[in-house]
């Protein structure tokens, strides 16, 4: 073992993802991660005090990476209606892409995310905050009429959940799925319009 190796949490998480890909969630252990890093499992535990904390950190890292394109959209400068539609379509696209390109790892991360309830709750709250930010911009631009930003943001997130929540992944390959997304987004955006824009 090479205990002289400088371990960082990020390096441990990278290797943990590789170990999960090789062995699967049920068989992967902290010892497997330590072996892949060529250190003792105690070295891993110095950064992550338990297997559960390591798994939560892996789930958070995955969710943070998935959230990056959404953050970029939310911070963009386009008009609020176009930004909101692009943000919602990006969120849907991210989930679909992960399911289609790597279904086994998606299932692994879904299980990890379900275990890391607080991590997932914070992630969802962050997404709702991004929607609220876009709605606020739309109100300032005079294009949206919204009385309660947070409630409306949560309603938008919930209304689109069939298209991005993993529980509905088996429906995402249906032929009319794209048309259903288009119809819902048209309805939602129309409902947000300020009276002067109708």
The sign one gets for the Cα dihedral 129, 140, 91, 67 is negative
The larger pLDDT score, comparing residue 3 to residue 7, is at 7
Task: Write down the pTM of the prediction.
Answer: 0.84
Domain at 58-197, CATH homologous superfamily: Tetracycline Repressor, domain 2 (1.10.357.10)
Q: How far apart are CA 79 and CA 167, in angstroms?
A: 32
Structure confidence at residue 10 (pLDDT): 93
192 and 144 Cβ atoms separated by less than 8 Å: yes
Question: pLDDT tens for residues 181-192?
Answer: 999 999 999 999
> Which alpha helices (DSSP H) does 30-147 contain, by range?
30-37, 41-47, 51-74, 80-101, 103-115, 117-141
Q: What is the DSSP letter of 78?
A: S
User: How far is residue 61's CA from residue 69's CA, in Å, rounded to a whole number?
Assistant: 14
> Which residues, 6 or more positions from 155, have their beta carbon under 8 angstroms from its beta carbon?
none
Q: What is the pLDDT of residue 160?
A: 97
CATH superfamily of the domain spanning 9-49: Homeodomain-like (1.10.10.60)
> Angle CA(152)–CA(117)–CA(166) in degrees, nearest 5?
65
Q: Of 125, 153, 70, whose CA–CA distance to 144 is shortest? A: 153
Q: What digits encode the pLDDT tens for the residues 123-137?
A: 899 999 999 999 999
Q: How is the chain split into domains, by residue range?
A: 9-49, 58-197
Give percent of the chain with pLDDT exceeding 70: 96
| pLDDT tens digits, one per residue of 94-113 | 988 888 777 777 777 778 77
**Does 58-197 match 9-49 at the fold level?**
no
Distance CA 55, CA 115 (A): 8
pLDDT top residue among 97 and 82: 82
How far is Cα of residue 18 from the mean position of the Cα atoms in its chain? 20
Specify the long-range contacts of residues 166-172, CB closer than 8 Å, at least 24 apart. 166/95, 166/99, 166/106, 166/110, 169/95, 169/99, 169/106, 172/96, 172/99
């Amino acid at each position: 073992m090479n205990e002289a190796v400088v371990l960082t949490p990020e390096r441990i998480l990278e290797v943990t993802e590789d170990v999960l890909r090789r062995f699967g969630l049920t068989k992967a252990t902290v010892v497997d991660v330590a072996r892949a890093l060529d250190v003792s499992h105690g070295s891993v535990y110095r950064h992550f005090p338990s297997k559960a904390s390591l798994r939560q950190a892996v789930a958070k890292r995955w969710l943070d990476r998935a959230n990056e394109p959404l953050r970029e959209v939310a911070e963009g400068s386009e008009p609020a209606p176009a930004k909101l539609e692009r943000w919602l379509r990006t969120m849907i696209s991210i989930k679909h892409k992960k399911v289609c390109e790597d279904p086994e790892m998606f299932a692994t991360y879904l299980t990890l995310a379900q275990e890391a309830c607080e991590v997932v709750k914070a992630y969802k709250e962050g997404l709702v905050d991004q929607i609220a930010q876009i709605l606020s911009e739309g109100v300032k631009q005079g294009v949206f009429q919204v009385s309660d930003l947070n409630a409306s943001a949560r309603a938008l997130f919930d209304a689109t959940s069939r298209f991005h929540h993993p529980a509905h992944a088996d429906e995402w390959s249906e032929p009319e799925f794209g048309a259903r997304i288009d119809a819902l987004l048209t309805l939602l955006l129309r409902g947000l319009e300020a009276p002067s824009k109708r």
